[in-house]
A and B are shown apart, each in its own frame.
Chain A
Amino acid sequence: MTLSWYWPTPNGKPPLIAVLSVIVPLAVLLLTASTVDMSYNKIFYAIPRMLDFTKNLWVMPDWHYVPQLAKKMLETVEMTLLATALAILLSMPLGVLAAKNASPHPIIFRITRDLLSFIRALPELVWALVFVSALGLGPLPGIMALSLVTVGFMGKFIAESIEVVDAKAIEGLESTGCTKFQSILYAMLPQAVPDFIGSLLYILDHNLRAASILGLVGAGGIGYDMVMSMRLFNYERIGMIALSIYALVTLLDRLSDVFRQKALGGILNVH
């Protein structure tokens, strides 16, 4: 005796949106499988090669490489910090210009807003490609690429924070004789600080990851070493590089967690 099974809806059939959200992606996947060369054979036969690869990683680390590894990792961190700091600096005035209620002129507002969207839209590596092509190799193009994209993100964030400030609070401050700009600043800061910190931690994490691959195009950091050691099958180095990146990213992750708790606990005392 077979039981008839139903869905818990009035007509016993699954809701349309549930069906669509399963069928549509599956259909897209099936239709596009060839575009991505999806082939179980390829994956299956690659497994022994990958296991081989992992086996090869278990070699004695190349101790001679450590100084250069440290130098490059340090460079990666420095790029991240510097780029982020610059970006914060630049994004403040731009954020003001891109805020509807603080911008001096609607045209300036529109232009800045669109500019920020534009710089945000391209991945850091693409910008890095452009800057390397213009300035040559080294960390500078990498820093510029990171800063630019971060400005795009931070600028929008600051603009939005300014825009949601309560108009009444601004009025209240203006009535004491502040300029419009001052009143926005003072009305916005108290509630913006925790959001800003959260954003900042997230950006640092993102930028660190981005910085570690910019070297691929010659824009500084550990990325170049990473690619070269893969190409030359330098297993000792690959393992060390992967481990250092893992350690660094995890360290930043833990630090952010700690910092987040402390900052929300009110240790930060702005004024």
Chain B
Amino acid sequence: MSIKTLPSRPHNLFPLWLSLALALLWLIIWDLDVAFQDLVYGIADMGEYLSRYGAPNFSNMSSYLHLMLQTLVTAFWGTTLAFIMAATIAPYAARQLTPNPVIYRIARELLNFMRAMPDLLLALIFVSSMGLGPLPGVLALSVHTAGFLGKFFAENMERVPAGKYEALSAVGAGFTQKIVFAAWPSMLRESVGNVLYIFDRNVRMAAVLGLVGAGGIGLELHDALRLFKYNQASALIIIILITIVAIDNLSSWIRKVLN
């Protein structure tokens, strides 16, 4: 077979996409007026800056720990409330379970809306309605992550083979019964993974919600940095770090055990 009879090579568009992407990035750098050279020149400064964090000051350890605990509890509350909301809405957003297409659309859009609102914005709104403290943080986290969890759950429910739902319809089961006997038993494993992932994420978010007065360790860190108390800041960062790593490992362990 000579070269002439080979089918023509499909046009490779990859270099085109790559050049477009690079052009776009160049445009962005120009528009943002980002001074990367400052960064490069400042590497030495960066070194000196980072060294200020070198001697972590744990003198306020007990109050830091209390704040970290508050952060964890905020995340836990947020995740559980999110779970309850998500588990309630999700079946209406699952094609095989939803009673009619209008409710389906509404449920889906509701979940999208809850996801799209940044938790920080929600926290701001709740703080202005309820005052400072961890409670607005809990509510902000629960509404926002209920959107995520609800979408995950709805997708899990849609992935269950249609036959299982049909068998339940065939015995005369109602909406709730289908959810309890067909949907949840079939999606348990993925759903637990989803909840763990969301809890993980909520711990991180709870740590920073304090910046808007919604409790937790974030505010303390912000103040420390603003007052140039780098040693205290580094102590706080270390505590946040250790907690998050611990939670990460806990989730991985739970996931392994369940498999």
Chain A interface (Cβ within 8 Å of chain B)? 25, 28-29, 32, 35-39, 42-43, 46, 49-50, 53, 74-75, 78-79, 81-82, 85, 117-118, 121-123, 125-126, 129-130, 133-135, 139-140, 143-144, 209, 212-213, 216-217, 220, 223, 226-227, 230, 241-242, 245-246, 249-250, 253, 268-271
Contacts and interface: CB of A to CB of B under 8 A. Distances in A.
Given A81-B24, A85-B21, A42 B39 contact: no
A246 B117 contact: yes
Nearest to B12: A269
Contacts of B182: none
B34 A122 contact: no
Nearest to A149: B204
Nearest to B83: A25
B70 A50 contact: no
A245 B24 contact: no
Contacts of B152: none
A214 to B, nearest CB: 10
B222 interface: yes
15 contacts: A29-B77, A38-B138, A50-B129, A81-B25, A81-B28, A118-B241, A125-B218, A126-B208, A134-B46, A135-B39, A223-B120, A226-B124, A227-B120, A246-B116, A269-B14
B187 interface: no
Contact of A46 (B45, B115, B126, B221): B126
B97 interface: no
A217 B36 CA distance: 20
Given A75-B32, A85-B21, A269-B12, A36 B212 contact: no
Nearest to B248: A121
B118 interface: yes
B134 interface: yes
A50 B233 CA distance: 35
B125 A212 contact: no
A216 B212 contact: yes
Interface residues of B, number: 67
A121 B244 contact: yes
Interface string B18-41: 000100110011011011101100
A45 B80 CA distance: 22
Nearest to A229: B124
A121 B31 CA distance: 31
Contacts of B63: none
B15 to A, nearest CB: 11
A253 B32 contact: no
Interface string B114-147: 0111101100111011110111011100000000
Contacts of A121: 241, 244-245, 248
Contact of B245 (A50, A117, A135): A117
B34 A32 contact: no
Nearest to A215: B120
B175 interface: no
B55 interface: no
B6 interface: no
B129 A135 contact: no
A125 B125 contact: no
Contacts of A245: 116-118, 121
B23 to A, nearest CB: 12
B13 interface: yes
B133 A37 contact: yes
Contacts of A125: 208, 211, 218
